[in-house]
């Protein structure tokens, strides 16, 4: 009988990426640069949240942004208008960034004199959750119109992030959305997760988000 070898390609890809992510994390730690991996579905308000974050932090720390997208530079143009350092990353059809892509983006951005970098990942809740980017912390945005059942549909994403920003909370009354139910579902997947209701449009809840973020950045730099 003919014999053959079975190679688990997906496993080897992830293992290699994890090694690259650890190396990148070590370098960022050495350089004193905090990297936040921000993920969400398209249309959740990710870029608006990034703009709000820059506005709140620009006088307190030097912020850079990696804008990842399959194509276009619309978001990078918006961020550039804030005065923050930004680079647009085109993934060429890929639905996520991995550690090596992130490394290339950081090198293109230039992290000299930066304290904090936001990686605005490609918009979807599947692929980005599977790849460690080398970030210091992972965050995601869930907008109210998406529904409170998303943790049931995309459990991996909710299990790997440190904080969930529940955006568009100002329109919750118009949707079948229960914040307490969402929290219960999320906590079952990730007991240590932080859930912050907010509205990037009105600014409600942004102060709590910024407080959490500054605390994480300071704690990361001290340890």
Q: What is the domain count for the chain?
A: 1
pLDDT of residue 1 exceeding 90, the answer is no
Confidence of residue 92 (pLDDT cuts 50, 70, 90): confident
pLDDT of residue 49 exceeding 60, the answer is yes
Could you list the residue range(s) of the whole structural domain that residue 168 is in?
10-222
Q: What is the pLDDT of residues 3-26, one digit of tens each?
A: 766 555 556 678 899 999 999 999
Segment 79-85 mean pLDDT: 92
Judge whether 114 lies within some domain.
yes
pLDDT of residue 70 exceeding 90, the answer is no
Q: Which residue has the tokens 């030097």?
A: 62
Position 96 scores a pLDDT of 82
| Percent of the chain at pLDDT exceeding 70 | 95
Position 195 scores a pLDDT of 98
Judge whether 66 lies within some domain.
yes
Q: What is the pLDDT of residues 119-158, one digit of tens each?
A: 999 989 999 999 999 999 999 999 999 999 999 999 999 9
Judge whether 28 lies within some domain.
yes
Across all residues in the chain, what is the average pLDDT? Answer: 92
pLDDT of residue 87 exceeding 90, the answer is yes
Judge whether 4 lies within some domain.
no
The CATH number given to whatever domain includes residue 200 is 3.40.50.300
pTM for this entry: 0.92
Judge whether 3 lies within some domain.
no
| Percent of the chain at pLDDT exceeding 90 | 80
Position 171 scores a pLDDT of 96
């Amino acid at each position: 009988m003919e014999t053959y070898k079975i190679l688990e390609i997906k496993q080897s890809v992830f293992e290699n990426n994890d090694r690259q992510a650890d190396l990148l994390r070590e370098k960022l730690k050495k350089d004193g640069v905090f990297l936040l991996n921000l993920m969400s579905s398209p249309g959740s308000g990710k870029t608006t949240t990034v703009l709000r974050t820059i506005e709140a932090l620009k006088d307190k720390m030097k912020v850079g942004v990696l804008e990842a997208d399959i194509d276009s530079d619309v978001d990078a143009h918006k961020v550039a208008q804030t005065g923050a350092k930004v680079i647009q990353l085109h993934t060429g059809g890929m639905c996520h960034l991995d550690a090596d892509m992130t490394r290339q983006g950081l090198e293109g951005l230039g992290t000299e004199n930066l304290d904090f970098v936001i990686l605005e990942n490609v918009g979807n809740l599947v692929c980005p959750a599977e790849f460690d980017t080398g970030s210091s912390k992972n965050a995601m945005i869930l907008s109210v119109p998406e529904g409170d059942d998303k943790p049931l549909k995309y459990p991996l994403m909710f299990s790997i992030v440190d904080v969930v920003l529940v955006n568009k909370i100002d329109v919750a009354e118009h949707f079948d959305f229960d914040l307490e139910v969402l929290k219960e579902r999320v906590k079952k997947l990730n007991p240590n997760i932080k859930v912050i209701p907010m509205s990037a449009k009105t600014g409600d809840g942004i102060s709590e988000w910024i407080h959490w973020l500054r605390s994480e950045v300071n704690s990361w730099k001290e340890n």
